[in-house]
Amino acid sequence: MSTPRRPPLPRIDERITMKYGAGGRAMRALIEGLFAQGFPATPGPDDVTLSALDDGAAVRVGDRWLVVTTDSHVVKPWVFPGGDIARLAVCGTVNDLAVMGATDPVGLTCAVVIEEGFARTDLEALHASLRAACEEAGTTVLTGDTKVMGRGELDGIVFNTCGIGWASRPVTDRGLRPGDVLMVSGTIGDHGMAIMAVRHKLALEGDLRSDVAPVNGLVRRALEAGGTAISAMKDPTRGGVAAVLHEMAQKSGVGVLIRESSLPVRPAVRAAAELVGLDPLVVANEGKVVLGVRPEAADAVLAALRAHPLGRDATTIGTATDDRIGSVVMDTGFGRRLVAEPEGELLPRIC
Amino acid sequence: MSTPRRPPLPRIDERITMKYGAGGRAMRALIEGLFAQGFPATPGPDDVTLSALDDGAAVRVGDRWLVVTTDSHVVKPWVFPGGDIARLAVCGTVNDLAVMGATDPVGLTCAVVIEEGFARTDLEALHASLRAACEEAGTTVLTGDTKVMGRGELDGIVFNTCGIGWASRPVTDRGLRPGDVLMVSGTIGDHGMAIMAVRHKLALEGDLRSDVAPVNGLVRRALEAGGTAISAMKDPTRGGVAAVLHEMAQKSGVGVLIRESSLPVRPAVRAAAELVGLDPLVVANEGKVVLGVRPEAADAVLAALRAHPLGRDATTIGTATDDRIGSVVMDTGFGRRLVAEPEGELLPRIC
């Protein structure tokens, strides 16, 4: 793989602050500068392991890849318009597998840490939601773990899910070439703004719903239509589409040029984002995919996405370029501006 | 598989209390009565999935099994004599894989949730410990996740690790037959009493150290010596050896008879346990294995265990019987008494 061109990362502060969990540069500094240091890669030369900092790992087994991914979920509140922490856990993990090319999960693990005093009825509701989300994604929970922390030692409940699945080839976030078409599978910013609205009791709250959904069926359609012409995929969670485009640009060694007018944003999301001074481009999504596609397959992939219920609003948003390597540039219609990589302090506990 | 004979489980309380995370009957009621309900099994008839409530899951792939396991770690304090939460996370997961028959992990996932304000230097120390434990176990971290919760929303740090590995056959905890010899790979109660001593500032603290260690090398030796004559394996963590023997007896449909005089307990552990009124049999271990072995292979397996540095104190502790099905009976030398299944409220946040 080509050496990615990446800007220098900030030093890690003496004390961990909220920005280190928020999906931006600070978190990347913590992971690249500390957590990913010193672990040997698995033997396969084509394996995707910790140092790749992708959505998960992919280890070659015979003529296919075993894909593994993990996420802890700490979303606050743990029930929100459009979903809850259990649905989020299933979808987050299924989606990480899918964007690595594993659209039919073998199954998930589910580990919960519960605060003492949590209501049984709430656990029952979360369990029902977990089951429903698994069914929707065509998967199951294989094994689990239960821990309890004392009252005041944990704010509510934390879910951790791991997923395993098989991919005929791992799709990374570093495969873009200049000329590749960039697409997003639907409207952006829905999840983050729904959480934000609930947490800050915004008046627009009623119109905002999380998009949390398993996209493995959608990605399956895209891969059937595009095959190896799909050069990069990532689900735009923490840090939003902006963070994903930065990852792809830096790791692939290309520039990214997007058109502001092409970004699909619901009116309620746009209004709420303006109210709190946020750009929907940096706001988390939980049922969307960003894809890079070779130009010759772009029409077929876009049509496949749009034919799926979760991809009706799919659209092209830009292209990979051979200038401004590692940068994301926005064409506003009036001119061009650099899109900053999110730093990460904006929306704690969004997922 | 035979239908296990299990006593009825208690109802789940309206509010979750500490006992639901402590590895005894209460936790089992929560898992069996709620969490494991309604998830479809994977297609393979020989697969071990959620309903088996084993150390992990095993899914058949060709002529071998993919073993998957997960654990969250919430131990308090997160550094303790003999180890820390990072070493515990690696060993807990490696050991769960090993007792399912997967002694050469493909790798681990590692997801951390950190409290705002956690010191960078402490994270660096935990990272070094994580690496060292992985090296000791001959494995690596494949992928990870980082979340931060606000100050006061989490007491310190939570680690979740998942492990994946291959087994030529899954070793379950339900394979005992009457006559099988029960062994433990070393002294019991060390981890739990070390944590207890630190938390309660017992005077004996200095003599107590956690046994936390990866037992995959030890289990590999045992499997090489015993093969399919090893009928059941489990690592005695929460609930201790007592909980493991109850699991094995109930799931295998046998009785278990153990000799009190044969239980290996360090003097410091015995003294501390007496001080706080605990039976070492219910206290957690993090570097031990309980094995059931067909009688004809017992000598060979015991010799193999003792030849390994982590198994020097391995010993037989009893046998599986065809009476008192589902029960654990202790021969005290003066008579026999039933060993109760731990309820679970004794030692919160032990791992």
CA distances from A33 to A10, A42, A315 (A): 9, 20, 36
d(CA B144, CA A53): 9
Say whether pLDDT at A79 is over 90.
yes
Using pLDDT thresholds of 50, 70 and 90, give the confidence band for residue B6: low
Mean pLDDT (chain A, rounded): 93
Alpha carbons within 13 angstroms on the beta-carbon side of residue B235 total 28
List of chain B residues whose C-beta atoms are within 8 Å of the C-beta of residue A127? 34-35, 37
Determine the pLDDT at residue B236.
Answer: 96
Mutate to test the interface with B, among A37, A142, A235 (most CBs of B within 10 A): A142
pLDDT tens figures, A30-76: 998 999 998 887 777 788 888 888 889 999 999 999 999 999 999 99
Mutate to test the interface with A, among B50, B90, B135, B148 (most CBs of A within 10 A): B148
Placement of tokens 């929707």 in the chain:
A136
CA nearest to B104, candidates B96, B94, B114 = B94
Determine the pLDDT at residue A12.
Answer: 93
Determine the pLDDT at residue B344.
Answer: 72
Least confident of A64-78, A235-249, B333-347: B333-347
pLDDT tens figures, B98-107: 999 999 999 9
**Closest residue on chain A to B106 (Cα):** A42
Chain B nearest-CA distance from A219, in A, is 22
Say whether pLDDT at B147 is over 80.
yes
Chain A nearest-CA distance from B35, in A, is 6
Least confident of B127-136, B281-290, B337-346: B337-346
Chain B nearest-CA distance from A271, in A, is 28
CB contact under 8 A, B119 and A14: yes
Determine the pLDDT at residue B191.
Answer: 97
CA nearest to B156, candidates B225, B90, B77, B229 = B77
Determine the pLDDT at residue A7.
Answer: 67
Using pLDDT thresholds of 50, 70 and 90, give the confidence band for residue B1: very low
d(CA B49, CA B248): 17
CB contact under 8 A, B35 and A127: yes
CB contact under 8 A, B143 and A70: yes
Query: What separation, in Å, do the N-terminal and C-terminal C-alpha atoms of chain B show?
Result: 31
d(CA A107, CA B66): 11
pLDDT tens figures, A124-145: 999 999 999 999 999 999 999 9
Determine the pLDDT at residue B3.
Answer: 45
Mutate to test the interface with B, among A118, A121, A145 (most CBs of B within 10 A): A145
Say whether pLDDT at B324 is over 50.
yes
Say whether pLDDT at B7 is over 70.
no
Determine the pLDDT at residue B44.
Answer: 79
Placement of tokens 């005290």 in the chain:
B332
Determine the pLDDT at residue A55.
Answer: 82
Mean pLDDT (chain B, rounded): 93
CATH number of this structure's domain B39-167: 3.30.1330.10
Determine the pLDDT at residue B348.
Answer: 82
Least confident of A176-185, A301-310, B54-63: B54-63
Mutate to test the interface with B, among A50, A72, A100 (most CBs of B within 10 A): A72
Say whether pLDDT at A2 is over 50.
no
pLDDT tens figures, B160-190: 999 999 999 999 889 999 999 999 999 999 9
Could you tell me the CATH superfamily of domain B181-338?
PurM-like C-terminal domain (3.90.650.10)
List of chain B residues whose C-beta atoms are within 8 Å of the C-beta of residue A10? none
Pull the structure tokens for residue A128: 């029902």
CB contact under 8 A, A114 and B41: no
Determine the pLDDT at residue A65.
Answer: 95
For residue B261, the 8-state DSSP code is G
Determine the pLDDT at residue B45.
Answer: 79
What are the sequence ranges of the domains in chain B?
39-167, 181-338
Determine the pLDDT at residue B164.
Answer: 97
CA distances from B221 to A303, B226, B288, B311 (A): 56, 9, 14, 10
Q: What does the pLDDT average to over A15-40? A: 89
**Closest residue on chain A to B115 (Cα):** A16
List of chain B residues whose C-beta atoms are within 8 Å of the C-beta of residue A118? 15-16
Chain A nearest-CA distance from B46, in A, is 14
pLDDT tens figures, A97-128: 999 999 999 999 999 999 999 999 999 999 99
CB contact under 8 A, A16 and B120: yes
ipTM exceeding 0.90? Answer: yes
Determine the pLDDT at residue A345.
Answer: 60
List of chain A residues whose C-beta atoms are within 8 Å of the C-beta of residue B112? 35, 72
**Closest residue on chain B to A153 (Cα):** B155
Determine the pLDDT at residue A28.
Answer: 87
CB contact under 8 A, A143 and B35: no
